[in-house]
Structures are given as structure tokens and as C-alpha cells.
Structure 1
């Protein structure tokens, strides 16, 4: 009996780009037209823009973790793990599962959407003492940690310890850092009603960034508005400043200041997943260099998109411009890549990716926000309505929309709570414990691994 083998489509990454690609493939491909496999450590899509609201307790973790198994057309095979190398010549992706088992996954077509990882620098003590804000676990952990500092400060009779526990440092003046600072500062400010022994003057939030202004993409006016809102709340903003050294109980700034603190949150940007370096192909600042159709030149059946790919921005007139690593680009690229994979399967022409940016929204918590939809500058409640409306509409399922809307309503009516969930336990977990960037292989290691597995395979 002859066995007909369907083409194997392998998608790496379950962020905005990868999930949109998989969902479109499921909708537009006939069941017998191809097999679709997704490599991801978690079987959910994380809505990253709302992560600061999880850290502050406005939203529950489950509300922004959209299950991949709720689709009515769900037929994608999910490999629970992360890709650590790709052999383009052998058409094999090397995957490390969540149990640390290394497996080889052959493919006919591969879509690389592994996203990005937190950008760190060679700063003494940084990875040992800083917390990140890139994953759902980190957001939940940071919330536990901040509340625990309030509890410990309230219980302490040592003025020095109490002061140190009530100072918080956030590095990174982009969207993640600014929103994280704004949301957590509101949490600690609201806590004063529940911790009568705490002196309000001792709670201090520091937001620092090496850049000359916060969120430069917003423009001068909105950027200044955001700074004014934060400073009005008592947040100390230092620009042109970074971290020189991080310790367990203090942080040293590059301007010489030493801040006693037990909380350093690092949100100073992201870089493309180290997976792209395993291919041995050309990159642009770590992002894989691809065509406007999101294909890898010189390699049939290889597509890349999202934060890990330098996709030419056809909507910009500037030569060499690439799409910024934002959710709106990633999700739209995912749908376009799916169409191009299907076009390749059916021997049809591919289409380039073109998208005009819809604008930016920044939710600073409460009634505070700044937004720039379609170039229109908004502040206050109108900006807040646009920001939350955009995020709510971008959630992929009605269940997720219902959960988020319910959480917002409950928080507006009932206010904040200060319950620690126990994630912190007794062993501290820092930046180095959440992103395993040391597991990736080099191009030579990938080829040697794949060749070794081929030699170990039994003969036909």
C-alpha cells in the first residue's frame, strides 16, 4: 500500500505572530492538505501589553493567557518546549521539551516566530538581583514580591530595613517600564489604607532610563504629559541614567547615587530570540534578515516574522526601514505569512507585507493614559477609553474579553487587594531564572547534533 505523506508545516513560537499564523492555517487549509505543528513551552497565547496590570493585580493571570486549545478548528499538534536550533540544510528543528529532553522535528516548511528575550548588559549583579517583566510567571512573581515588601516593612522595627523595602527601582522608560511603574505605584499607594503603620513618605518609586526621554515614539508633547502624570504621583524619573551595579539590598546608579532597595525591575528593552543566531544566516541587529514576503533568501520553505525578524516596512518611505517589534505588526504578519505558506503549497505567487501603523496607547492606571491613535494625541479619560478599548478588542477569544472586562469592573468597584499567592515561596527567583538563554546551540552544534542523530537512526 502506498503511503501519502502530507507536507509538514512547523511553526515556532506562540506569540501574536505564531498564533495568528496557526489559526489562519487551520481555517484555510483542508485537513488533508498539510500537517501543522507548533513548538511552544506553554499552550496559551500571552497578551503581553496587559502584563503590567497582572503585576498590579488589576487583572488575573488567566485573563490574559488565551488557551490555544479552545479553537473549534483546533487540530494543530503542540510540542511543549522551545526550539534551540535549526538546521536549514537538513530541514530539522532541534527542540528542548519542558522535561529537558532534546528531540529533532523534521519539516517541509518552517515559520520562525520565536519572539524576543529581555535585553541585558554586563552589569555586575544584574541577572542575580533583578526581576523581569516578560512572562506571566514574572508578572505574578513581581506582584507577590512587592506585596511581601509591604508586609515585611510593616512588621519591621528597623528604620533602615523599612526604608529599603519601601523603595522600588524600575529600569527602562519604554512602554513596559513606564506602565509597570505606573501600575505598581498605584498598588502601593492604595496599600497605605491597609498598612496604617507605614509612613507614606517612605514609599518611593524610581524610573530610570539611559535615553533622554520616556517613550520617544509618542512624540515630545505626549511624552512630557506622561512624565508629568508620573511625577505628580511622586515617582522619581531620572533620564540619561542607568544601573552601574546591582546588589541584594542596594542599587548603584551611573550618576553615583546609591539607592537602598530590595526591588530592581529590569525592563530595558528586548532583543531577538537567540534562536536566530543558530541558523547561520544574515541578521539585522539580531533579527533575521528576510524579504518583504517574510521569506529567508536562498532557503525554500523558510519564513520568519515578528520580533525575531527584520521585516521591511513598506509603509515607511525611509530606505532600510524595518517593522517595529509591536503586537499590531506581529499579528498581521502572522496572517500574511500563513497566506504565503499556503500560496507556496499551491504554487501561487506570494504577497509582501504592508501595514500602516495604527498608533500607540499607554495605560497608566486609573483614569490616567496617553494615546496616539492614527496620529491623534489624547490624554486622560479619552486616552484611557481608547487604550482599554484597543486592548479589549485585540483579545482573541470572547472568553478572554469577558474575563478582562469583568476584572476591570471588579477592580473599579472593589479596589485593589493585597493577597500574596505564594509564588515567591522561600527561594528567590530573579531574571536569570525565567529566561533560559544559555540553552541555544551554535550553528556548528546544530549541524553536529542533527548529523549524529542521523547516524544513530536504524537503517531502513
Structure 2
């Protein structure tokens, strides 16, 4: 078949869903059936659930960044850049490449798996002074920052500054926030014997959330168990509380407390990628409203999944239930959507996505964890074995598995060296500097570009 006439399949996003889809397409499609293209600003798949362990130094950043270019067997064309707009009518995806050029990428079938971004609110000073925990760069940066606070406090002769440097605030009582607070608290606690001049009583961690319960998805008993582990370690857990405003050296809570701190970590949920808003399609709480087959109603050849899509949860009896934005679902949806793209390509019937949740795991660092595999509630070391076993088995390559297992072993035997790289030490970076949410086009801009004259050379941004 002439390559010009081959159908073009465009996959947007290299997360669990996108990479799972691409790999299955490569295995099940013959080379002459279709051309597959992947759009991603990074050349790796990030294993997001282990980011808190990168922030705490238990794992190296490379351990959870699985290269997309490692194998020579894969034939997918990778476009280094981010999709910033999709015109569903013209079947055009606008891509901003890493060289800051705008490129029109045309497709016959598109799989939208752009993931999510950190959910923020209109809180004064939040985006200017808070850190996020959504990217590999943020996790590595936070580790540097926390260790630098210990160094700066150790070097300071001002009691007020020293106290502020040693207070840390994490907002968000979900999995990401709880694991982040737990793992980083272990880091600072382990550092105490390396900083003999620091008063252990000055190191304080605060975990706050507006919800009345910690990790409600785990159930009351396990949620209380996790909360008890944190409080036993000295973490101040405040529920029904959020942030009123944030400054460079203090944070004001909604209950009136003012906490002097230079570290505010924001993990209060995620929202679908801003790419979804460029399409003008129907959404459910910001996520694309799709069918159980993960197709977009009224638009031929358009599939969506993962954090960016409200995929009906057929495993539940509840009306209107949608799959939660978890790695567990994203990995399986990626394979299922690939099968449906192939079925559409071959004019075969599509199958609905159905998956019964296998449970939840929360790694609190050390021997502490809470897990609920298949509805069985576990705590302590058994829960930790299940949590790490699940994460290890979910890593896509043997190289990644070896790196992670080696890092866990080394950390258990030798502990942490508390080394910081010092990157960006003279230019502080915060939440707004990592996710580039202001780069997307409006629906009108996307339409104008898609319907304009063909520009093979790409136009500058």
C-alpha cells in the first residue's frame, strides 16, 4: 500500500494511557495498515505514583522515567512537543514543538490522552509561591528545596528565620498529598543527626485538606490508620481547612492560623488538560464526555481516555459513574482504546471498557503503608509489601524495575546522603513555572489555524 494512502493515527500524550495505546497498536497493526504518531513534550513515560519517593530521595528521577526511545523495535513517529489545540471538524491537531514552532498535524484517527494538570483556585499568592507535585522536574526541585531549607536554617543566626525554614505545609489529603507529606517528613527526620545544630522540635510538617476525611476512598478505618501514622511522626493533620492566602515567607489558613514557612506544596487535586477546552465538545466536570467505547459522540475517529475523559464505569451499578483518574484505569484503557481504534480501522464492532477496581495502595515511607487490595484492608509491613509489589510490577520495562528495586535496596541499607544539586538556586521556581498551562490556543484560534493555508514549514509561536 502506498504510504500516502495509509490511515494516520495520532496519539496525544505519553502517560499510562497514551503509551499503553501506542505499544498495543504497534503489536497488533501490520506496518502497512496505518501510520502511528505520538505527540509528547518529553521522550519518556513518567510513573506518577512514585513521584513522592523521588522528592524524598528514595528513588532517582531516572528510575521512574521510562524512555520512549530505548527500543529499536518501535516504529511510532514521535513529535517532541505539546498539543495545544484540536479542530475536530478539520481533523487537525495544532502542536507547539520544543523549538517553539506551531505545526498542523492532520489525522484520520486521534486518541486523546493528554492527562491532567494541577487544579488551582483563585487564592492570592498560590501560583506564585506554591510548589506542585505533577512533574518529574517538580519532584526533583522539591527535594533540592527541602534540603536547602535545612542548610539555610543551619546557617542562620536569626531564630525567626530558622523556625520559618523548618516549617513545611502540604495542601491536599488525597494520595499524592498524603504520600508527599509522609515521605518528605521521613527525609527531614532522618536528616536530624546530620544537622546537630538544629532543634528537632522546630521541624514541623502540616498536612491540610478542606475535606472532612483523609483519603476517603480508602474507607474510614484505613484513613484513620494513615492519619494516626502521620500524627505519630509529628505531622499536624488539619481537616476542613484550606489556604486563604500565600506569601513568600508565610501561609494563612482559612481557620485564621498564620504559619511562617518557605515551603508550600500544593497537591489539592487535578483537572483535565487545557487541551480539552480547545475543542468545544461536551464535558463532564471538565473531562470529555465519551461513550463506554471511549469514542467522542458525533465525531468520527475521535477517541479519548485517561484523566482527560469521563469514561463510564460499567463495573459499577451507579448511574452516571465514571472511572476515576488513576493509573490503574489509564493503563487498561490504553490497551482497550487501541483495540477499538483497530476495530474501527477494520470496520469491526467496538467493545466497551469494563474493569473492576483492584484496590488502592498508599506508601507512607519506611515500613508504614495502608493498602486495600481487592477490598482487603492491610496496614504496616504487609501493606507496604503489597504497595511496592504493585508499583514494581506496573513498571513497563525490566530496566525500570531493576533501577527501582536497586534504589529501594540501597536506601534501606545506606539511607540518604542529603545531597542537593543546586539547580536554579538563584532563580526560584514555583507551580506556575512547570506545567505551562498558558500555552494553549482558544477554540477560535485553533479553527482559524486549521482552516488557513497549509504551512509545511510551520509558523513561529
RMSD of equivalent CA atoms? 1.4
Equivalent residue, structure 2, for 1:225: 225
Instruction: Measure, in 1, the Cα distance between the counterparts of 2:148 and 2:431.
Output: 18
**Are 1:288 and 2:280 counterparts?**
no
**Are 1:114 and 2:114 counterparts?**
yes
**Offset of residue 367 of structure 1:** 0.3
**Offset of residue 3 of structure 1:** 6.6
Q: What are the superposed Cα offsets for residues 87-145 of structure 1, whole Å, 9 maximum, x if unpaired?
A: 11110000011222111100010000000000000000000000000000000000000
SS at match of 1:205: strand
1:26–1:73 Cα contact (<8 Å) kept: no
Equivalent residue, structure 1, for 2:355: 355
SS at match of 2:244: strand
Q: Which 4+ runs in 1 deviate beyond 4 A?
A: 1-4
2:170–2:206 Cα contact (<8 Å) kept: yes
1:15–1:113 Cα contact (<8 Å) kept: yes
1:2–1:23 distance in 2 versus 1, CA, 3 Å? closer
SS at match of 1:370: strand
Equivalent residue, structure 1, for 2:395: 395
SS at match of 1:404: helix
Instruction: Measure, in 1, the Cα distance between the counterparts of 2:245 and 2:432.
Output: 16
TM-score for both structures, normalised by structure 1:
0.98
Instruction: Measure, in 2, the Cα distance between the counterparts of 1:19 and 1:456.
Output: 27
**Offset of residue 423 of structure 1:** 2.3
Equivalent residue, structure 2, for 1:100: 100
2:169–2:265 Cα contact (<8 Å) kept: yes
* Alignment of structure 1 residues 88-167 onto 2, 5 Å: 88-167=88-167
2:50–2:64 Cα contact (<8 Å) kept: yes
**Are 1:251 and 2:251 counterparts?**
yes
Q: What are the superposed Cα offsets for residues 147-180 of structure 1, whole Å, 9 maximum, x if unpaired?
A: 0000000000000000000000000000000000
Instruction: Measure, in 1, the Cα distance between the counterparts of 2:352 and 2:381.
Output: 38
Instruction: Measure, in 1, the Cα distance between the counterparts of 2:363 and 2:456.
Output: 54
* Alignment of structure 1 residues 338-377 onto 2, 5 Å: 338-377=338-377
Equivalent residue, structure 2, for 1:267: 267
**Are 1:441 and 2:422 counterparts?**
no
Equivalent residue, structure 1, for 2:191: 191
Instruction: Measure, in 2, the Cα distance between the counterparts of 1:367 and 1:107.
Output: 49
SS at match of 1:362: strand
Equivalent residue, structure 2, for 1:173: 173
**Offset of residue 72 of structure 1:** 4.9
1:66–1:400 Cα contact (<8 Å) kept: yes
**Are 1:299 and 2:302 counterparts?**
no
1:145–1:424 Cα contact (<8 Å) kept: no
2:37–2:76 Cα contact (<8 Å) kept: yes
Instruction: Measure, in 2, the Cα distance between the counterparts of 1:337 and 1:233.
Output: 44
**Offset of residue 455 of structure 1:** 8.6
Q: What are the superposed Cα offsets for residues 263-303 of structure 1, whole Å, 9 maximum, x if unpaired?
A: 00000000001111111110000000000000001111000
Equivalent residue, structure 1, for 2:428: 428
Give 5+ residue unaligned stretches, structure 2: none
Instruction: Measure, in 2, the Cα distance between the counterparts of 1:383 and 1:405.
Output: 17
Instruction: Measure, in 2, the Cα distance between the counterparts of 1:225 and 1:12.
Output: 39
Q: Which moved more, 1:3-12 or 1:95-104?
A: 3-12
Give 5+ residue unaligned stretches, structure 1: none
Q: What are the superposed Cα offsets for residues 160-206 of structure 1, whole Å, 9 maximum, x if unpaired?
A: 00000000000000000000000000000000010000000000000
Instruction: Measure, in 1, the Cα distance between the counterparts of 2:246 and 2:216.
Output: 27
